[in-house]
Amino acid sequence: MRRFASFGLCGLLALILPVVAWAQSKPAAPLGDQVEQRLQKLRDDQKPRNTPDPNTLTASEIQAMTKRFRECWQVPERVRDVPNLSVTVQVKLARDGSLAKPPKVLNSNPDPRFAVAAKSVLAGLRRCAPFSFLPAAKYAAWQEFTAVFDPHEFIGANPR
């Protein structure tokens, strides 16, 4: 076991006195300010940590939307085995979950089967509407979104 040097009373005072002098030289905050600072610290400590943003959909809400898309999109037989044929769609919804505007395809592909895939995605979104299961309180989070429909991701869930 290692032993530390013993200082004795004079040695300890020599170590402590500069710290005490420094602490006394600082002007003390008024008592009211000290109380307010302490109360603010207590308030901060009581705030829940990692509270979810009320305008963000939870994982289960996003999963419910994905499930609904899988139920509604009937992937055409002609596009099932085509690589890189995903369709990106912009969707705008009204507060009741109905389509506020017709969905808009944002990407393109020279493959003629892309038009077939895009048409089937748009038909599926119209068939899915309204998305009334979405939480009304989070309308700002789902009123407008972009979704990517890749036939390879949807085939296993809803083969038709």
pLDDT of residue 123: 94
In a domain, 145, yes or no: yes
Q: How many distinct structural domains can be found in the chain?
A: 1
In a domain, 91, yes or no: yes
What sign does the dihedral 142-143-145-151 (CA atoms) show? positive
* Structural domain harbouring 110: 59-154
- Predicted TM-score (pTM) of this structure: 0.62
In CATH, what number is assigned to the domain containing residue 114?
3.30.1150.10
Q: Look at residue 150 and tell me whether its pLDDT is greater than 80.
A: yes
Comparing 53-67, 76-90, 140-154, the range with the smallest average pLDDT is 53-67
Q: What is the CA radius of gyration of the chain?
A: 32
